Structure formats: C-alpha cells, structure tokens
Amino acid sequence: MKLGAFSISLAVKDLGVSKEFYEKLGFIVFAGDSSKNYLIMKNETSIIGLFQGMFENNLLTFNPGWDHNAKKIESFDDVRSIQESLKEKGVDIVNEADELSQGPASTVIVDPDGNAILLDQHV
C-alpha cells in the first residue's frame, strides 16, 4: 500500500506563535495561507501542518500521489483503493471517500489508541 508523503497535522491555538516556535527548530513555511488559518512547514523531509480552528485534535496525515515536496508522483495507490483495502482488512472507516468519484478525496481512520489518520489525496 503506497500512502504517499507523511506529515503531522497539528491543531494549534495560535498560528503565529506556533509558526515562530517551529521556525526556531529550523522549519520554514513551505505552503499554506495564514489568512486561511493554516501553514505547512518543512525541515528537510519532515513536514508539519499547523491548523488553527480547523479540527479538534492532531492528525497523522498521508498524501497519496504526493512526494515530500508536494509534487505529484506517477505511480501511487488512489485513496479509494486504499480505503477498499482497509475495509477488506476489517479497518473501520470514520469518514469515507466517495468510491464513485475520481481525483482529490480523503478518508479518515482511527488507530486502536484513538489517533486519527487522514488519507488526503490532492491529485
């Protein structure tokens, strides 16, 4: 199963304060829009998404179809295919992607310890 680029998506209280903190760790703004309350920060291949007011808890995030530079990769497993494989393995889907759609879509699962995992395909 090819899950694509990995990042952690953090639910932050103050986007500016969090941005400044992660800059001290060597992260730079890679993508996003602070006027829309989110920034994607990168340090080499480590990626952190900062999201203010978008969701309640932190998420583990995978982006099928993207490499760690948010560039489309040629060969990848579509999120709907991953979702179907997970269902076949008995994994409960919390938020399903429309199986009849194509292109961008997302699905959410939760691990046994309650950690939400977002599979977020942008291509």
Domain locations along the chain? 5-121
- How far apart (Å, rounded) are the C-alpha atoms in residues 98 and 80? 8
Do 15 and 53 meet the contact criterion of CB atoms below 8 Å apart? Answer: no
Q: What's residue 99's pLDDT?
A: 95
Q: What is the mean pLDDT of each run of 10 residues along the chain (123 residues)?
A: 96 98 98 97 97 96 95 95 97 96 97 96 95
Q: pTM of this prediction?
A: 0.91
Among the four given CATH numbers 3.40.630.10, 2.60.40.10, 3.10.180.10, 3.40.640.10, the one describing domain 5-121:
3.10.180.10
Helix, coil or strand: residue 85:
helix
| 8 Å CB contact between 50 and 41 | yes
Query: How is residue 7 written in tokens?
Result: 């990042």
